Amino acid sequence: MKKDKTNHQPAGEPRSKPARIEFAHATATAVRIAGTFNDWRPEATPMISLGEGRWAKELTLPPGTYEYCVVVDGAWMADPLAKETVPNPFGGLNSVLRVAAPA
């Protein structure tokens, strides 16, 4: 019996969309992302080194609003390239990532 490889996503369910996060830090040896999209687990989302202190990560997320921090060599911080931030309960800031619904 052949397996049907079509996506059986229910009608009306939002489809995931790519979202790219970029970061730069001249001396970082490990950069990860922790946020509402991965239950604040930095080990789940390591960024890829592009060389010369540049880092990037491509995420695939359903439309919505997400909060996150970058974790640079163990230190949590807001993403300086984020267009928006919100206060977090620890006295710092979380970055905001908005994923629009696909057109």
The residue-averaged pLDDT of 3-30 equals 74
- pLDDT band of residue 15 (cuts 50, 70, 90) is confident
Q: Which of 96, 81, 99, 79 is nearest to 19 (CA)?
A: 99
Q: What's the CATH fold of domain 17-99?
A: Immunoglobulin-like (2.60.40)
Q: Which of 31, 44, 37 is nearest to 16 (CA)?
A: 37
The reported pTM is 0.83
Predicted local distance difference test score (pLDDT) of residue 8: 40
Predicted local distance difference test score (pLDDT) of residue 13: 53
Predicted local distance difference test score (pLDDT) of residue 1: 43
pLDDT one-digit tens code per residue, 47-101: 999 999 999 999 999 999 999 999 999 999 999 999 999 999 999 999 999 999 8
- pLDDT exceeding 70 applies to what percent of the chain? 85
